Amino acid sequence: MIVPYTELPRAAGNWPRPLLDVSFGDVEDVLVPCLVDSGAVHTLVPAWVAADSGVGLDQAPPVAFGIGGGSTRARFATVRLAADRYAWDAEVGFCDPWPYSWGLLGHASFFRYFTVTFRAADGEFELLPIAR
Partner 1 sequence: MTVATVAGHRYEFDASTVESLLESVDPEPIVEHYVVVSGRRFPPKQVLALLTGLDRADFTTHQARAILRRLGFGVHRRSQGADPGGAGAPASTTGDPSGLEAHAGRWVAQVGSEIVYAADDPGSVTRWLRRHGRRARVWRVPANPGDAGSMLSSP
Residues in the chain: 132
Considering the complex, state which of residue 99 and residue 129 has its C-beta at the smaller distance from partner 1. 99
CA of 14: how far to CAs of 17, 41, 44, 90, 118, in Å?
9, 26, 23, 31, 18
Residue 66 touches partner 1, criterion: CB under 8 A: no
Distance CA(19)–CA(126), nearest Å, equals 11
The span of 58-66, 72-80, 95-103, 113-121 binding partner 1 (CB under 8 A) equals 95-103
Residue 68 touches partner 1, criterion: CB under 8 A: yes
Q: Do strands 70-83 and 86-96 pair parallel, antiparallel, or not at all (unpaired)?
A: antiparallel
Q: Do strands 124-129 and 86-96 pair parallel, antiparallel, or not at all (unpaired)?
A: unpaired
Q: Where in 35-54 is the site for partner 1 (CB under 8 A)?
A: 35, 46, 48, 52
Distance CA(53)–CA(45), nearest Å, equals 12
Q: How far is the CB of 68 from partner 1 (least distance, A)?
A: 6
Residue 96 touches partner 1, criterion: CB under 8 A: no
Residue 107 touches partner 1, criterion: CB under 8 A: no
Distance CA(104)–CA(34), nearest Å, equals 5
Q: How far is the CB of 73 from partner 1 (least distance, A)?
A: 19
Residue 82 touches partner 1, criterion: CB under 8 A: no
Residues in the site for partner 1, rule: CB under 8 A? Answer: 7-15, 17, 21, 28-33, 35, 46, 48, 52, 68-69, 99-102
